[in-house]
Structure 1
């Protein structure tokens, strides 16, 4: 069973296609050349016969009457290797000179006067199987026609020699094309082989630092650039994952160590029978509860941050941002009644995920409440798509501003406060997915109203002051 072309290696397919294409082209050119030469040779022979076919009618009649014309194959001296024979209306013929040839219906039609001339190929009657080119023309004043014929031996010999030469030249051309196809396939696929080697190396060693040298601007170069970009993105993703795992381990170590210490104290107290004072035992249990709460919050933030959801993949819809911010304010007020939260919200409609946006606003408010001093307030306003959350806490220094949205980053003054350092990172990702932007700066630099320092976070989302009459089926950000 012959293998299909698609089952062959790409290199074999390339040189086979090159050789096959050249072979077809050579065969077509050789065939056309052979037929053109054959037509030219036959045409030259017909022209020669036409010049020699003008025979005087008196000479024909005299020859027949003198008995020099015989129906038998009687050879006369024939220095030009030509044949002249007479054909009558009944199809009978007699040879004047040369070898007798077959009489066709076209020759009889010329003798009868129904056809002006006949040109064709006929077989000689001498038994040698020689073909003749025949021209039959009428003889004026008689009821016969004269046939002049020349053998095609030389023409056929020339055509055979030409066919042999064309076959040799064509075969040489096909072999040369096959060799050139092999060389071109090797040269053209060398970058692909290099790319394949790099891919196999990456698959075998998982070394994403390997890069393919890029030369030129062709398709292979574009493929190499795309592969380099892909491996760079994968390496960056792996580095971010490793950094997330390392940061998460570092953040988990502190509450777990505190939990282990407190639980060890409680277990040792029960095992030794030395009861802890009620105040100390209550403090230990409250510490354990606080650490467990912090662990739960940290795990929840990690799950939210590790969720690989591209923009628009969740349950997106037209969201009333003022209503989302209002619900977030009420939630924060319930769990931090000692820090007042004031809100001035004007209608603003955006496209996004309602749950994710509410969580982002809650994170901003929790962060503001956490840094607000005793007796301080948190001010929330929404106007023309800009949601502002301002606190009156210690603020953020200029050298800390570039890191506030990084994962697990916490300012030195906040390390003793609860939190995982992931809240603002979650806010930044949610806002980016909704097509907006978020920034944080000292309240004084932001020109915020009110006395005291603090920090102001500004969250901007594209939208409109009125809900769309026909909500789009895709987000338009």
Structure 2
């Protein structure tokens, strides 16, 4: 059996579908044909039984005939010519409870039927209501249908004859011939049906798998050429259509991911070029000074060293941001735990005060607890406040509020033009007015990613009277959840 299953699994899908259809139809046809044959057989036997019952009711037994027949028992089989007139069709005889030899009514019976235990049981019962229908055999090997009833004599001294049954039988030659013809016809029809089912199954398999063939060709084309622009036409709403839509969505997502990757590489190369060029220029100046022996004035040398340090810091920050964004979402997440958002915001405020000592910070932070990765959330808060520090003029206020899970950071800087707002969370995007300021253009992208991973939302909007609102909404609660035991 395991070998058959392995061979079946090794067959092509078309062949398996065709074979399964053929087998299913064959089983169905076999069940229907068998049921049909048994139903017809039951109907034909019921008709024969009705005839036998009618003959037995219409054939009274006289006491003298029974006595004479029992005295002459056993009798030789009746043969043509022993009596005048046509040969009888029915078999008519007596059976005794203690004897295997039947007692035939020679002038009225077509022959002799073999007696079996059912007949002797009816003879012993002595009950006229007891009767038995069975298939039997004559002494010359013919199949007959037999009705056995207790023998009841009519006339003087009549009544139930003790230990004696009367047997009526009818030949089954025509019935069996009809059943054999029906069996042959059903077998022929079943064979044609199975062959037709095999052909239909193969056609259905080919037709049904045609969309799968297109999908297979498309997958092989993508694997061979890496062409992610391939799309499969979708027709209908069946499983194949769903599979085609899923494939199209997958290739579109892969194409988008590859485009973003290429764009990230191009943007990273562009952003890295500026600090690297400046760093190279400054180092070449220092190296030339050493080679030529012409000392650079101390003030200029300090400026060059400060510039080198700043460029290296900017380069390290850029590389860190690139590493953060290059990792998949699942890989970039640390363990999630309950974090006090108001404490994270307060810690970010302390760092912002150090970076903007000339600014005035006002805060109103209500308790709020969220489930997030703490380090990433702290970095996001710092990036949002760094933007506020970077674009706020000296002496301006930076307002930070946290109410009901919504953190708002408002600065009084120049604001963001409305046409630039859709681009602020794009990687490496920087406003034309901010390109002279330090930064890589990745900070808000990292903030948006962190907030989305925590199930929240972030948006930037113009503030009334000038400046920008940064609104971060995170799901959580005003009280920490109870510690698990």
Pairwise TM-score range, normalised by the shorter structure: 0.7 to 0.9
Q: 1:125 aligns with which of 136, 139, 151?
A: 139
Q: 2:439 aligns with which of 409, 414, 419?
A: 419
Deviation at 1:90, TM superposition (A): 4.4
Alpha-carbon distance between aligned partners in 2 of 1:309 and 1:65, rounded to the nearest angstrom:
104
Structure 1 position 156 matched with structure 2 position 176? yes
The residue that corresponds to 1:49 in the other structure is 52
User: TM-score, normalization: structure 1?
Assistant: 0.86
Is the partner of 1:400 in helix, strand or coil?
helix
Alpha-carbon distance between aligned partners in 1 of 2:79 and 2:180, rounded to the nearest angstrom:
29
Alpha-carbon distance between aligned partners in 1 of 2:456 and 2:92, rounded to the nearest angstrom:
104
Structure 1 position 93 matched with structure 2 position 123? no
The residue that corresponds to 1:79 in the other structure is 87
* Equivalent residue runs for 1:24-63 within 5 Å: 24-53=27-56, 54-57=59-62, 60=65
* Equivalent residue runs for 1:234-253 within 5 Å: 234-253=254-273
Cα separation, partners in 2 of 1:85 and 1:409, compared to 1, 3 Å:
closer
* Equivalent residue runs for 1:50-449 within 5 Å: 50-53=53-56, 54-57=59-62, 60=65, 64=69, 71-77=75-81, 79-88=87-96, 90-91=98-99, 92-95=101-104, 96=106, 97-111=109-123, 114-116=126-128, 117-126=131-140, 129-137=141-149, 138-140=151-153, 141=158, 145-309=165-329, 313-337=333-357, 339-351=358-370, 352-373=372-393, 375-384=394-403, 385-442=405-462, 446-447=463-464
Q: Is the CA contact (8 Å cut-off) linking 1:15 and 1:181 kept in structure 2?
A: yes
The residue that corresponds to 2:24 in the other structure is 21
Aligned residues: 460
Cα separation, partners in 2 of 1:185 and 1:14, compared to 1, 3 Å:
same
Q: Is the CA contact (8 Å cut-off) linking 2:384 and 2:470 kept in structure 1?
A: no
Query: Unaligned stretches of 5+ in structure 1?
Result: none
Deviation at 1:107, TM superposition (A): 3.4
Alpha-carbon distance between aligned partners in 1 of 2:97 and 2:423, rounded to the nearest angstrom:
116
Is the partner of 2:146 in helix, strand or coil?
strand
User: TM-score, normalization: structure 2?
Assistant: 0.84
Report the RMSD for the aligned CA atoms in angstroms: 3.0
Deviation at 1:472, TM superposition (A): 9.7
Alpha-carbon distance between aligned partners in 2 of 1:266 and 1:312, rounded to the nearest angstrom:
40
Deviation at 1:113, TM superposition (A): 6.1
Alpha-carbon distance between aligned partners in 2 of 1:190 and 1:283, rounded to the nearest angstrom:
72
Moved more, 387-396 or 352-361: 387-396
Cα separation, partners in 2 of 1:22 and 1:400, compared to 1, 3 Å:
closer
Alpha-carbon distance between aligned partners in 2 of 1:272 and 1:437, rounded to the nearest angstrom:
58
Q: Is the CA contact (8 Å cut-off) linking 2:289 and 2:295 kept in structure 1?
A: yes
Alpha-carbon deviations, 1:136-160, whole Å to 9, x = none? 4414036655433332222222211
Cα separation, partners in 2 of 1:74 and 1:254, compared to 1, 3 Å:
same
Structure 1 position 2 matched with structure 2 position 7? no
Q: Is the CA contact (8 Å cut-off) linking 2:113 and 2:137 kept in structure 1?
A: yes
